[in-house]
Amino acid sequence: MVDADPMTIVAVPDEAGFRARLQRSGRLEDGWLDLAIDVDGASIGRIQTFVPPGRSLSPGVFEIGIGLCEDARGNGYGREALALFTDWLFDHAEAERVQAPTDPANVAMRAVFERIGWRLVETLRQLDRDWMMYALTRAEWRARRA
């Protein structure tokens, strides 16, 4: 995370907070779920749900973050991970809406969202940065699967 692209991470988490997240990784707890993205036994990134600082989420709403190692980008792994995770949240976590912010300059991530059926719902300012919020509702997800 120390070497993460500043476009994809707001700040490096504190050590104690990061250790606590690792302890619960793989389990959905209080809106948080951390998973590795694995290709042929190698970890190439991470995907998680999280509760954004200073903002609460309504029941059934999950905010997602994703990050891939630079050499893994552009191969469809992020798109596949996001599509699978989205399906899992609707199928197993009672999601009513999944959403994710991205930097306006992150054209690749915006294309991933649009390609799997998410839509731009708002632009917001948080932590002294502008973010584009993409989302998909349960109804939109069902229609996409039909």
pLDDT given at position 1: 42
The 10s digit of each residue's pLDDT in 69-126 is 999 999 999 999 999 999 999 999 999 999 999 999 999 999 999 999 999 999 998 8
Decide: helix, strand or coil at residue 104: coil
Q: Which carries the bigger pLDDT value, residue 121 or residue 55? A: 121
Q: Rounded to the nearest 10 degrees, what angle do helices 138-145 and 77-92 cross at?
A: 110
DSSP one-letter string for 12-65: PPPHHHHHHHHHTTTS-BTTBEEEEEEETTEEEEEEEEEPPTT----TTEEEEE
pLDDT higher than threshold 60 for residue 11: no
Q: What are the residue ranges spanned by the domains of the chain? A: 15-145
Which residue in the block uniquely carries the two structure tokens 């996001």? 82
Q: Which carries the bigger pLDDT value, residue 2 or residue 111? A: 111
Q: What is the pTM of this model?
A: 0.83
Q: Distance (Å, rounded) from C-alpha 116 to C-alpha 146?
A: 14
pLDDT given at position 4: 45
Residue 50, strand partner residues: 63
The domain 15-145 having CATH identifier 3.40.630.30: the answer here is yes
Q: Which carries the bigger pLDDT value, residue 110 or residue 29? A: 110
